[in-house]
């Protein structure tokens, strides 16, 4: 069975003081959950918080990661951060290809392929995000878009044990809308089929596929109970400790005793 992963993407939120308070609440809440070893918990913070968060979560079950990375190892790239710099902080995961990176900052599949490889070659885990816009869904192009985002970025040279895929319907991010369980399961099945084509079915069955898109305490249980949903990439709800813990608790409830 794939171990559920609940990842929080803080985006551009939280000062140091605010972050310490939030992490304290998350660590305390995770510590109180029964069977917490059956679910992995990850927080992805702004670059400025990585070192202090490393100290705050030390000797706890909570992992931490980054929200983006540059594909080159070093160079004249003002304002960018390399994978080696991230690794120095002790983080374990890096989000690559979040819809905001694609649609606000214009990152394309060819660049994201380089980023994924930079992350996994450094021994970190890439959380690679895919998803369609509202126009693409209404045009019936969801599967075409997903298969392009998977096929142009994920190849057999990407170690499957260093890969997590996150499905984020762009129309559901920060809008309050959420894909129905049926819609989410359908796309997760397509993603797993794509992985089976890249690797093999047994390997594809080991890769975790997260759902991201207005995940909240009220809808988490329904989404996390789906056979091909292996956790969540949480946005706004991860900025409130009690909400994030409620989502983690919903994941814990899916783990067999």
* Cβ atoms 165, 210 nearer than 8 A: yes
The reply to whether 85 falls in a domain is yes
Choose among 41, 64, 62: nearest CA to 51: 64
Residue 211: domain span: 5-252
d(CA 142, CA 132): 6
Q: Is residue 223 part of a domain?
A: yes
| 244 part of a folded domain | yes
Give, in degrees to the nearest 5, the angle at Cα 71 between 68 and 74: 110
pTM surpassing 0.85? yes
Q: Give the residue numbers marked as catalytic.
A: 98, 168
Domain count across the chain: 1
Of 186, 242, 193, 191, which Cα lies nearest the Cα of 216? 242
Residue with tokens 């490889």: 117
> Is 220 in contact with 251 (CB distance < 8 Å)?
yes
130 pairs with which residues across the strands? 167
Report the alpha-carbon distance of residue 222 to residue 204 in Å, rounded. Answer: 23
DSSP-derived 3-state class of residue 119: helix
H or E stretch covering 55: helix 50-57
Residue 58 lies in a domain: yes
pLDDT at 1: 79
Give the residue carrying structure tokens 């902080």. 89
Q: What is the pLDDT along the chain (257 residues), one digit of tens a residue?
A: 799 999 999 999 999 999 999 999 999 999 998 655 689 999 999 999 999 999 999 999 999 999 999 999 999 999 999 999 999 999 999 999 999 999 999 999 999 999 999 999 999 999 999 999 999 999 999 999 999 999 999 999 999 999 999 999 998 877 777 789 999 999 999 999 999 999 999 999 999 999 998 899 999 999 999 999 999 999 999 999 999 999 999 999 999 87
What does the pLDDT read at residue 179?
A: 85
Q: How far is CA 235 from CA 11, 13, 172, in A?
A: 8, 11, 11
The answer to whether 165 and 209 have CB atoms below 8 angstroms apart is: yes
pLDDT score recorded for residue 104: 96
- The answer to whether residue 241 is domain-embedded is yes
- Asked, for residue 257, whether it belongs to a domain, the answer is no
We report the CATH number of the domain holding residue 74 as 3.20.20.70
- Give the separation between CA 58 and CA 254, rounded to whole angstroms: 27
The CA-based angle 244-88-236, given to 5 degrees, is 20
Residue 78: left if φ>0, alpha if ψ -120 to 50, beta else—which one? beta
DSSP for residue 213: S
């Amino acid at each position: 069975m794939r171990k559920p992963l609940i990842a929080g993407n803080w985006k551009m939120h939280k000062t140091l003081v605010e972050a310490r308070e939030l992490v304290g609440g998350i660590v305390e809440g995770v510590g109180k959950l029964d069977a917490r070893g059956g679910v992995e918990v990850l927080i992805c913070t702004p670059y400025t918080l990585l070192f202090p968060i490393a100290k705050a979560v030390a000797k706890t079950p909570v992992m931490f990661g980054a929200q983006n990375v540059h594909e080159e190892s070093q160079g004249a790239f003002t304002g960018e951060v390399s994978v080696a710099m991230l690794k120095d902080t002790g983080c374990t995961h890096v989000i690559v290809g979040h819809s905001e990176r694609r649609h606000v900052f214009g990152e394309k599949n060819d660049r994201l392929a380089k980023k994924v490889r930079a992350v996994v070659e450094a021994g970190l885990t890439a959380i690679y995000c895919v998803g369609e816009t509202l126009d693409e869904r209404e045009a019936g192009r969801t599967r075409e878009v997903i298969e392009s985002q998977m096929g142009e970025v994920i190849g057999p040279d990407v170690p499957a044990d260093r890969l997590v895929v996150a499905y984020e319907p762009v129309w559901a991010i920060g809008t309050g809308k959420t894909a129905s369980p049926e819609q989410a399961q359908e796309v997760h099945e397509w993603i797993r089929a794509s992985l089976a084509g890249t690797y093999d079915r047994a390997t594809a069955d080991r890769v975790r596929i997260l759902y991201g898109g207005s995940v909240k305490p009220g809808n988490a249980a329904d989404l996390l109970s789906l056979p091909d949903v292996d956790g969540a990439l949480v946005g706004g709800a991860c900025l409130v400790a009690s909400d994030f813990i409620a989502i983690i608790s919903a994941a814990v409830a899916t783990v067999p005793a």
